[in-house]
A = this chain, B = another copy of it.
């Protein structure tokens, strides 16, 4: 079986085509695949659809989705935030979005997670109570089950998922640490090709307890170990 370990981030992202749909893990920093994003920025793919909790951070943190957006590589965003909750926090995204130069779909965060989960679970659609009676349910089917209203939501899938994990074995089995986990496990299942950047070196098969695998290797295609001089979590992202 072909090794899943790539020597460089550049090699791992080399084949990503213009117009790809990519899911990015990460929540307020932890789990953000910053080194993969940096490589993708250098690689040059454009016209991307990105699926992520936010369209990047608001502050001055290490590289994240905002870098791709600022560089004009993103055509469409699916996220739980298309504006900060405070009007003083504005990014390039906000300007582009208000000017109509970038498309965006605003999705409640739990619905975002569940749609990604459904995409990796072969579910055709599902009914959630979230958003009923609000703007986010406009134009969507609302249906009652056992006396409660639910809105119909569709699965999300992607060409690629990018995530950061803590530990891996050569089969591609992943472990995350604390809230680094967030969208990683569900995005890995919803994407055709999953790229993981890793805090530490790749262990031999058998070194991770089978009961403690967070993302089985069958969902992981490419792994790159973040070198000591790579981008590490710690400086704040959004």
A binding-site residues for B, Cβ under 8 Å: 114, 118, 121-129, 143, 145-146, 148, 150, 154, 175-178, 181, 210-212, 214
Q: In the bound complex, what is the Cα–Cα distance between A95 and B114 (angstroms)?
A: 42
Interface residues of chain A: helix, strand, loop or mixed (majority): mixed
Q: Is there an interface contact between A127 and B124, defined as CB atoms closer than 8 Å? A: yes
Given contact pairs A123-B127, A124-B129, enumerate 10 new A-B contacts (beta carbons under 8 Å). A122-B129, A123-B126, A123-B128, A124-B128, A124-B148, A124-B150, A145-B154, A177-B211, A178-B211, A212-B212
Residues on the B chain within 8 Å of A114, using CB: 121, 123
Residues on the B chain within 8 Å of A210, using CB: 178
- The copy count of this chain in the complex is 2
| Closest residue on chain B to residue A157 by CB atoms | B146
Residues on the B chain within 8 Å of A145, using CB: 124-125, 154
Q: Which of A114, A124, A127, A175 gathers the greatest number of chain B CB atoms within 10 Å?
A: A124
Residues on the B chain within 8 Å of A176, using CB: 211
Residues on the B chain within 8 Å of A154, using CB: 145
Residues on the B chain within 8 Å of A118, using CB: 126
Q: In the bound complex, what is the Cα–Cα distance between A234 and B125 (angstroms)?
A: 41
10 closest pairs, A vs B, by CB?
Answer: A124-B150, A124-B127, A126-B126, A124-B145, A125-B127, A212-B212, A123-B126, A125-B145, A177-B211, A123-B128
Residues on the B chain within 8 Å of A175, using CB: 211
| Closest residue on chain B to residue A210 by CB atoms | B178
| Closest residue on chain B to residue A214 by CB atoms | B211
Q: In the bound complex, what is the Cα–Cα distance between A145 and B155 (angstroms)?
A: 10
Residues on the B chain within 8 Å of A146, using CB: 124
Q: In the bound complex, what is the Cα–Cα distance between A150 and B121 (angstroms)?
A: 13
Q: In the bound complex, what is the Cα–Cα distance between A232 and B121 (angstroms)?
A: 34
A25 CB, nearest partner CB in chain B, Å: 16
Supposing A175-B211, A176-B211, A178-B211 touch, asked if A150 and B127 sit within 8 A by C-beta, the answer is no
